[in-house]
Amino acid sequence: MIQLRIQKVEISDANRLREIAVETFSETFSNENSEENMIQYLTENFSIDKLSKELKNCNSEFYFALYDTKPIGYLKLNFGNSQTELMNDDAIEIERIYVLKDFHGKCVGQTLLSHAITIARKRNSNFIWLGVWEKNKRAINFYEKNGFIEFDSHKFNLGEDEQVDLMMKLSVSEISYQDEICFIKKYIRNTYNLSILDFGTGEMCFINNIQESLKDRIGEIIAIDNKEPEDLYFNLGKINLIIQDGFEYIETTQKRFNLIIFSNVLHFYDYEKQNEAIRKALDKLKENGIIFIKIANLNHSYNSQEDKFVFKEDRIKQVGKLAEILEIRELEKHYDLILKKPVLR
């Protein structure tokens, strides 16, 4: 299994930082920009002297994403008056977050973003913001899926070319994997030999975090999705990946589970089928088992405009609407649901 570590970059790492910075920036932008503008930007912004000064700045921090000992991505955070746009002191800027192309789709960027959120929480920051080139659709999609919303734009000079960056922000109160796992742990308590079903596992980042966090307590994990992940950055371990329609599986399986996970619950189904799947899942729980429902973020894909309209409000209203539909008696927290038998009429 790949051992991905996040490590703070020290002044002695300036050369390694320059290498990963130049390589990732070049991979990301060289096809869309002239060679002259790229050379000018790289020379002006990624010299050892400039990076060393940034590393010495107490209001900036760099972090490597390490695969074994090799940097495969990095993160730069700015605080206070080091932010490239003047924001409140309760804001943090992600100035740079880059991953080598060979490691795209392997949750490295997600891990770096989660680290930024952790730091923001420790500093009691209210929000994280960043600028992303308006033509970088892949990055924009990534941020939107993580709950970032566009709030402004600013100019960005790449060599002699004046470009437009979209400014996006994320409220630090948004849930992260660490919060979700703590949330789940509270309910499964001291249960061992856990049987877990992940309904609609997607790229499997979340279920792998569950596996890592609960590894000594897991008996079996079944991860269901209607298509294979594009790539995996970890060995499956105890995860049994089944490519099948989730509704079909929940209808036919004879297995019983301690934990059933629904993420982004409107992704594949309309309301009626989604709610029927959740009702059927309740019948597949072991005694004292739970269902964890992570409500879809505002930018997730939906089956119909009607569904998207209903769920376009903030997370509190999303959960309230789902609770109303399912006639749930107990509502836990303000952005997710825990269902225990029996909770439905």
Return the pLDDT at 304: 46
Return the pLDDT at 181: 76
Class of domain 4-171: alpha beta
Task: Express as a percent the part of the chain with pLDDT over 90.
Answer: 41
Q: How far is CA 324 from CA 97, 319, 329, in A?
A: 39, 9, 9
pLDDT digits (tens, 9 = 90+) for 227-280: 777 655 556 888 899 998 888 888 899 999 999 888 765 555 566 677 778 778
**Residues pairing with 65 in the sheet:** 6, 73
Closest among 115, 111, 112, 158 to 134, alpha carbons compared: 158
Return the pLDDT at 264: 61
CATH classification of 177-340, choosing from 1.20.140.10, 3.40.50.150, 3.40.50.2000, 3.30.465.10?
Answer: 3.40.50.150
pLDDT digits (tens, 9 = 90+) for 53-112: 999 999 999 999 999 899 999 999 999 999 998 777 889 999 999 999 999 878 788 889
Phi, psi angles (nearest 5°) of residue 11 = -60, -30
pLDDT digits (tens, 9 = 90+) for 275-288: 778 778 888 988 88
- pLDDT of 175 higher than 90: no
Return the pLDDT at 197: 93
Query: Can you give the residue ranges of every domain in the chain?
Result: 4-171, 177-340
Q: 265 and 293 in contact (C-beta within 8 Å)?
A: yes
- pLDDT of 132 higher than 90: yes
**What is the Cα–Cα distance from 198 to 183, expressed in whole angstroms?**
16
Return the pLDDT at 50: 96
Return the pLDDT at 215: 80
Active site residues: 143
Return the pLDDT at 323: 54
